[in-house]
């Protein structure tokens, strides 16, 4: 089957009595240009690696999986839908370089279940489900286990991840992601590139791990996560009135850069 042919994808669903599940975020990518763009962006940071080991979350019918395999990647694909997980390897001709794991990606990121193989992942490339995409991305970012993460997400999620200080869309997800990753929006992808067509557009977002905060200890990170969470829960308030006796500042959470937050934490901890 040509996985970027809308008519072939729809025909497969009808023949197999498969109804894309909205709560699982099953909006399949059916646009060849967008497919090439996301895979190019995902593999660019690992350009020098001979057979990059790639994590794919939510392979669905396998459109990204097939493209990644054709570029010489070793792919571990985690799919929550048991019907899609069961058929994937066979539908792609049982390639040796592909391991399909049935289950919820969050269980693997949180080490509740183990993934096959012991070589670390070089990158993650995925078209994430709308509903759980932000949570999956944040858990991956907090684990700091993968150096390059490229994902198709709702545009508003991408905008929040990339937002710098002073931006109205600045929020907790961006502050946490930017602590260890440089974040960029690679391109927008229109809703018409998916079937079923979602209500809103998507963006390809890429996160590449940096080491600028390698000196930040686990204890400092813990305080960083706690105070930023509390500050963004009261985003309209000045920090001085949220953290009475601890912080004297008239600034609001969205006005601080990651460097400011880091200095604030170091100041509070005397480190
Ligand atoms: N990669 C395919 C594509 O681009 O056409 C499908 C992408 S679709 C947006 C999201 C996929 O993630 C679906 O196949 C869905 O079943 C799967 N999924 C949803 N929640 C998941 C989870 N928590 N863990 C793993 N896969 C999940």
Ligand 1, residue 59: give the atom nearest the CA: 1
Mean per-residue pLDDT, 172-191: 97
**pLDDT-based confidence at 117, cuts 50/70/90?**
confident
Q: What is the CATH number of the domain that holds 104?
A: 3.40.50.150
Q: What pLDDT is recorded for position 96?
A: 97
Q: What pLDDT is recorded for position 155?
A: 97
Span from the CA of 222 to the centroid of ligand 1 (angstroms): 31
Span from the CA of 225 to the centroid of ligand 1 (angstroms): 28
- Same domain membership, residue 227 and residue 97: no
Mean per-residue pLDDT, 218-234: 97
Span from the CA of 130 to the centroid of ligand 1 (angstroms): 9
- Same domain membership, residue 167 and residue 76: yes
Q: Is residue 51 part of a domain?
A: yes
Q: What pLDDT is recorded for position 151?
A: 98
Residue 225 pLDDT exceeds 80: yes
- Same domain membership, residue 130 and residue 73: yes
Q: How far is CA 167 from CA 101, 160, 204, 260, in A?
A: 39, 9, 20, 15
Asked if residue 132 has its Cβ within 6 Å of ligand 1, the reply is yes
Q: What pLDDT is recorded for position 111?
A: 82
Asked if residue 194 has its Cβ within 6 Å of ligand 1, the reply is no
Boundary (domain end) residue, out of 159, 191, 209: 209
Span from the CA of 104 to the centroid of ligand 1 (angstroms): 10
- Same domain membership, residue 204 and residue 229: no
- Same domain membership, residue 245 and residue 157: no
Q: Is residue 233 part of a domain?
A: yes
Render pLDDT for 72-97 as a digit per residue (tens, 0 to 9).
999 999 999 999 999 999 999 999 99
Label each residue of the chain as H, E or C: CCCCCHHHHHHHHHHCCCCCCCCCCCCEECCHHHHHHHHHHHHHHHCCCCCCEEEEECCCCCHHHHHHHHCCCEEEEEECCHHHHHHHHHHCCCCCCEEEEECCHHHHHCCCCCCCCCCCCCEEEEECCHHHHHHHHHHHHHHCCCCEEEEEEEHHHHHHHHCCCCCCCCCHHHHHHHHHEEEEEEEEECHHHEECCCCCCEEEEEEEECCCCCCCCHHHHHHHHHHHHHHHHCCCCEHHHHCCCCCCCCCEHHHCCHHHHHHHHHHHHCC
**pLDDT-based confidence at 48, cuts 50/70/90?**
confident
Render pLDDT for 173-182 as a digit per residue (tens, 0 to 9).
999 999 999 9
Q: Is residue 1 part of a domain?
A: no
- Same domain membership, residue 197 and residue 107: yes
Render pLDDT for 104-115 as a digit per residue (tens, 0 to 9).
999 999 887 788
- Same domain membership, residue 198 and residue 68: yes
Q: Is residue 239 part of a domain?
A: yes
Q: What pLDDT is recorded for position 44?
A: 97
Q: Give the pTM.
A: 0.96
Q: Is residue 105 part of a domain?
A: yes
Q: What pLDDT is recorded for position 271?
A: 85
Mean per-residue pLDDT, 56-62: 98
Out of 3, 129, 203, give the residue to mutate to test ligand 1, the one with the largest number of ligand atoms within 8 Å of its CB: 129
Span from the CA of 257 to the centroid of ligand 1 (angstroms): 33
Q: What pLDDT is recorded for position 167?
A: 96
Q: What pLDDT is recorded for position 112?
A: 73
Asked if residue 127 has its Cβ within 6 Å of ligand 1, the reply is yes
Please give the residue range of the domain that contains residue 85.
Answer: 6-209
- Same domain membership, residue 117 and residue 15: yes
Q: What pLDDT is recorded for position 66?
A: 98
Q: What is the CATH number of the domain that holds 248?
A: 1.10.8
Ligand 1, residue 136: give the atom nearest the CA: 23
Render pLDDT for 120-137 as a digit per residue (tens, 0 to 9).
999 999 999 998 999 999
Residue 189 pLDDT exceeds 90: yes
- Same domain membership, residue 170 and residue 108: yes
Asked if residue 66 has its Cβ within 6 Å of ligand 1, the reply is no
Boundary (domain end) residue, out of 185, 209, 233: 209
Ligand 1, residue 35: give the atom nearest the CA: 4
What is the rounded (10 degree) CA torsion for 141, 146, 147, 153? -60
Question: In total, how many domains does the chain have?
Answer: 2
- Same domain membership, residue 241 and residue 192: no
């Amino acid at each position: 089957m040509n996985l970027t042919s809308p008519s072939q994808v729809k025909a497969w669903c009808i023949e197999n009595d498969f109804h894309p599940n909205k709560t699982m975020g099953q909006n399949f990518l059916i646009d060849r240009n967008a497919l090439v763009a996301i895979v190019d962006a995902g593999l660019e940071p690992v350009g020098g690696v001979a057979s990059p080991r790639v994590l794919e979350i939510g392979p669905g019918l396998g459109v990204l999986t097939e493209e990644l395999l054709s570029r010489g990647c070793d792919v571990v694909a985690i799919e929550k839908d048991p019907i899609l997980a069961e058929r994937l390897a066979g539908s792609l001709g049982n390639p040796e370089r592909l391991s399909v794991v049935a289950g919820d990606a969050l269980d693997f990121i949180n080490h509740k279940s183990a993934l096959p193989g012991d070589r670390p992942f070089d990158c993650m490339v995925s078209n994430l489900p709308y509903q759980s995409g932000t949570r999956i991305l944040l858990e991956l970012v907090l684990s700091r286990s993968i150096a390059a993460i490229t994902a198709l997400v709702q545009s508003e999620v991408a905008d929040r991840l990339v937002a710098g200080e002073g931006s109205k869309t600045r929020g907790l997800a961006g502050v946490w992601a930017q602590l260890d990753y440089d974040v960029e929006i690679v391109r927008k992808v229109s809703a018409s590139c998916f079937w079923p067509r979602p209500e809103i557009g998507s963006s390809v977002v890429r996160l590449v791990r940096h080491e600028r905060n390698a000196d930040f200890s686990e204890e400092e990170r813990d305080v960083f996560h706690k105070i930023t969470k509390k500050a963004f829960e009261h985003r309209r308030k000045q920090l001085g009135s949220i953290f009475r006796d601890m912080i004297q500042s008239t600034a609001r959470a969205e006005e601080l850069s990651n460097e400011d937050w880091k200095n604030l934490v170091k100041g509070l901890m005397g480190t």
